[in-house]
């Protein structure tokens, strides 16, 4: 029997993170710096003061980079030692696909990794990916949603903590519009702001003054090649679907942590990409028609996605 995965969209994650980023969003050079240092056998994070010398960053930024490096999945701690993950090596390694974080595909991959992180999930990404459906929101609405979802937590969170977490999330995606009076290091936008995934489009009058308004890009994603979509589809299937061989098209578009949901693709775009993928990769996927529903069958499970990840960077992918 075909299961509608949308029924599980409010499945609770056991533990959310709201801090650790030290209120700093990701910076352009940070992930390559972390991967390079760890690749050389250095430990920039166990002792923040040593990390300051290794990375050339302030103490709080070193702590922030440790957090983001784990969150985006480029390094991990194994046997009490920092190691570069296979993802980090393929993308940011010395012979990697994008060692200086210059490729738009890498930014979409980082967005994917952040939005589907279940090991150390940040609540803001989980909220936008799985709980919020509308194309725009006000700052006050998002903050209220944060409060509502966390008021039953064992350890109550202060409004200040929630607001700081929300602001870091927004600064990760929204380009700065005012640099007056800011320090040079604070004028560097997060690389993910290049995606234009979230933008500020105005303000409204709220109970406590001006209430910023933000829009999510729900248009067709021409900047995402089909090879990258293929990687996301296999990754989602492996981690959230498991051994099931079939899913509804609508599951890929709207299911928990699905490619359509994470990338905010229009349903028609998801449909067209799945049909094209089945045509181009007939050994991996097949489209079936059943009871007026389109079903995607995965013919060949891929547990090792390293090759698929590298292929996502090919020119014709």
pLDDT exceeds 70 at position 185 = no
Q: Which stretch of 152-156, 181-185, 193-197, 298-302 has the lowest confidence by average pLDDT? A: 181-185
Average pLDDT for 180-205: 76
Burial of residue 311 (CB within 10 Å: 0-12, 13-18, 19+) is middle
Q: May I ask the CATH architecture of the domain 223-311?
A: Orthogonal Bundle (1.10)
Q: Which residues contact 105 (CB under 8 A, 6 or more apart)?
A: 98, 224, 225, 228, 312, 313
pTM for this predicted structure? 0.91
pLDDT exceeds 60 at position 300 = yes
- Taking only the tens place, the pLDDT of each residue in 31-46 is 999 999 999 999 999 9
d(CA 42, CA 104): 29
The pLDDT-based confidence of 180 (bands split at 50, 70, 90) is: very low
pLDDT of residue 289: 84
- Taking only the tens place, the pLDDT of each residue in 227-244 is 999 999 999 999 999 999
- Taking only the tens place, the pLDDT of each residue in 55-94 is 999 999 999 999 999 999 999 998 889 999 999 999 999 9
The pLDDT-based confidence of 148 (bands split at 50, 70, 90) is: confident
| CA 162 to centroid of chain Cα atoms | 19
Average pLDDT for 162-174: 96
Burial of residue 282 (CB within 10 Å: 0-12, 13-18, 19+) is exposed
pLDDT of residue 316: 62
The pLDDT-based confidence of 317 (bands split at 50, 70, 90) is: low
pLDDT of residue 5: 41
What ranges do the domains of the chain cover? 10-20+102-217, 29-100, 223-311
The domain made up of 29-100 is a member of CATH 1.10.10: yes
């Amino acid at each position: 029997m075909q299961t509608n995965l949308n029924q599980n969209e409010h499945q609770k994650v056991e533990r959310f993170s709201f801090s650790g980023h030290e209120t700093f969003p990701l910076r352009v050079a940070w992930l390559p710096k972390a991967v390079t240092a760890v690749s050389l056998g250095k430990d920039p994070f166990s002792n923040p003061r040593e990390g300051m010398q290794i990375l050339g960053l302030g103490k709080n930024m070193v702590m922030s980079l440790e957090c983001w490096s784990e969150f985006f999945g480029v390094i991990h701690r194994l046997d009490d030692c920092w190691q570069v993950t296979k993802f980090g090596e393929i993308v940011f390694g010395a012979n990697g696909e994008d060692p200086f974080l210059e490729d738009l595909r890498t930014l979409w991959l980082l967005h994917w990794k952040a939005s589907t992180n279940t090991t150390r999930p940040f609540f803001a990404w989980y909220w936008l990916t799985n709980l919020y459906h509308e194309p725009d929101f006000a700052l006050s609405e998002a903050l209220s949603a944060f409060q509502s979802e966390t008021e039953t937590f064992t350890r109550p969170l202060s409004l200040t903590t929630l607001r700081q977490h929300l602001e870091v999330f927004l600064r990760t995606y929204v380009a700065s519009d005012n640099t007056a009076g800011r320090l040079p290091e604070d004028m560097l936008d997060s690389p993910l702001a290049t995606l234009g995934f979230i933008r500020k489009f105005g303000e409204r009058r709220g109970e406590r003054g001006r209430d910023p308004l933000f829009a999510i890009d729900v248009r067709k994603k021409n900047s995402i090649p089909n090879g990258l979509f293929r990687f996301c589809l296999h990754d989602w299937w492996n981690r959230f679907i498991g051994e099931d061989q079939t899913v509804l098209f609508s599951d890929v578009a709207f299911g928990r942590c699905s490619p359509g949901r994470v990338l905010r693709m229009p349903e028609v775009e998801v449909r067209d990409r799945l049909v094209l993928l089945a045509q181009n990769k007939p050994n991996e996927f097949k489209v079936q028609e059943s009871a007026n529903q389109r079903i995607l069958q995965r013919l060949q499970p891929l547990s090792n996605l390293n090759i698929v990840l590298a292929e996502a960077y090919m020119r014709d992918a």
